[in-house]
Amino acid sequence: VSAILPLRGTTLRERSAAALAGDGHLQASLRGTTDALDGRRRNTLAELDDPDGLRAAARALRTDAIARLPELLEQVADGVEAAGGHVFFAADAEEAREHVAGLAERRGARRIVKSKSMVTEEIELNPRLEAAGIDVVETDLGEWAQQLDGEPPAHILGPALHKTKGDWVRVLGGVGYDGGESAEAMTAFARATLRERFLNADVGITGVNLAVAETGSLVVVSNEGNGRLTAGAPPVHVAVMGMERVAATWAEADLLLALLSRAGAGVSLATYVNCLTGPRRPGERDGPEELHLVVVDNGRSRILAGASREALNCIRCGACLNACPVYRQIGGHAYGWTYSGPIGAVLAPLLLDDVPEAAELSHASSLCGACWDACPVGIPLHELLLQGRADGAARDHGGERALWRAWARAWSRPRAYARTGAPAGAPVPDALVPPPFRAWTAGRELPRRSGATFRERWRRGEVLDP
């Protein structure tokens, strides 16, 4: 049976093996879902006049927004406050968690509804709220199933894509469902069960897809409608946002939403694009009385200062996951962390600088560039993965570096180079390969030369006509 191992204390190989153990459903379902999403992404991009031009513009605009991040965040905060909301800047996960927990406590909150938000997973908000005795319910269908099953999300967009209908029946059965394997019956059950939670919640917590600086508005995208309900039904709305999710203008927001919708769910526009400017106004019958925006750094300013700054351009659509040959084989849980796929492999070593196991994720890539090709804002993810490897190597003072140095020195000398090429004739048996290299040959064949080397042929005068 497949299992989810934590990042700390495990290797990628161990986590992949654990995730893939089982009946092969994970592989089949990953293939089906990621193919479908990638196909819809292409189809919906094709309806546009100049998708490549839009993508190039989006990349330049995102880069510019990140370069102006302090000014834009200031504008967002002023706008939110002018509209009657509150803004809290959290330097790290703990500050963010404590602030949200403090808000809940001050309101005497017992029940909280959440719509899907990766940044709240990143800062591990739910355990903190639950420790305070608060009942926290995830309301995105897939995320709810993951919560009921005690598992983290497996994909930025499709948190439960690895679950079979049988898994769903089992998980929902735990909260009273007995309607069989029909997706419609399960959805109706979830609607009825969660509807009551929405209407009785004290606080609603959402993520933020974009904060639009020019009006201080928060854009929250959802397809199921849980984003609208979470932000609109309870008396308090807490929106938690990674600090990089800022658009300067609504024109920019329009472009990013068009690309996000297509790259994410493969639709022309997400079903609900909810644009929130401040809390409920005088005379309004619904909407939150209080709106709180929590802007989270949690290591992002380190990225801003480094060579991988473009990783902050990410709008979290998940398209690079669907395109990645590594993600498609091992799934999200094998990465061992909130963010998986190529973007997760780029972010992990940068954001988790105190977790040595994170560095290995830079190698969870074939550097084929499919992620770059799929990225709606053109982030050169393959180059950032290489940068991650370079960063990792710069931290490494051990034997590997000495080994590569010695090799480089040897091959800069003609005679040594000539002697160490691939041997002709019979293959070297694996048993003769010394231990550190045996791990490499375990899955590969050593190269074999057929015939003479170039140098030998040169000496014999076979290369050039006399």
Partner 1 sequence: VRREAFLDRLRDARAGAPDLAGAHPPGPPPALVPRVAWRPDARGLEERFADALAGVRARLVAADALPAALAELEVRTAVATTDLVALPGGVTRLGLERVAEADAGVTAARAACAATGTLVLESSPEQPRLVSLLPRVHVAAVPRSSLVETPGDVLRGLGRGPLPSALTLASGPSRSADIDGEVVYGVHGPLAVLVVLVEA
Binding of partner 1 at residue 27 (CB under 8 A)? no
Binding of partner 1 at residue 441 (CB under 8 A)? no
Q: For partner 1, which residue of 3, 21, 56, 424 counts as binding (CB under 8 A)?
A: 56
Binding of partner 1 at residue 36 (CB under 8 A)? yes
CA distances to 64, 230, 266, 462 from 55, in Å? 14, 31, 16, 52
> Judged by CB under 8 A, how many residues of this single chain contact partner 1?
110
Q: How far is the CB of 106 from partner 1 (least distance, A)?
A: 17
Q: For partner 1, which residue of 17, 110, 363, 380 counts as binding (CB under 8 A)?
A: 380
Residues 171-190 that bind partner 1 (CB under 8 A): 183-184, 186-188, 190
Q: How far is the CB of 179 from partner 1 (least distance, A)?
A: 12
The stretch near partner 1 (CB under 8 A) out of 10-18, 62-70, 354-362, 455-463 is 62-70
Residues 135-164 that bind partner 1 (CB under 8 A): 139-142, 145, 158-161, 163-164
Q: For partner 1, which residue of 12, 80, 87, 320 counts as binding (CB under 8 A)?
A: 87
Binding of partner 1 at residue 275 (CB under 8 A)? yes
Do 243 and 300 form a contact (C-beta atoms < 8 A)? yes
Quickly tell me which residue has 């330049």 as its tokens.
60
Q: For partner 1, which residue of 270, 317, 324, 385 counts as binding (CB under 8 A)?
A: 270
Residues 211-240 that bind partner 1 (CB under 8 A): 212, 214-215, 217, 223-226, 228-229, 231-233
The stretch near partner 1 (CB under 8 A) out of 101-109, 192-200, 330-338, 439-447 is 192-200
Quick one: which H or E segment has residue 54? helix 51-67
Nearest 5°: the CA angle 211, 311, 145 is 70
Residues 278-307: b if buried by 16+ CB within 10 A, e if exposed: bbbeeeeeebbebbbbbbbbbbbeebbeee
Characterize the bridge pairing of strands 217-222 and 272-276: antiparallel
Q: Which two tokens stand for residue 209?
A: 């897809």
Residues 386-415 that bind partner 1 (CB under 8 A): none
Strands (E), 129-286: 135-138, 203-206, 210-212, 217-222, 236-242, 246-247, 272-276
Binding of partner 1 at residue 368 (CB under 8 A)? no
Q: For partner 1, which residue of 10, 27, 301, 441 counts as binding (CB under 8 A)?
A: 301
Non-local (6+) Cβ contacts of 409 within 8 A are none
For residue 290, which of 237, 217, 244 has the smallest C-alpha distance? 237
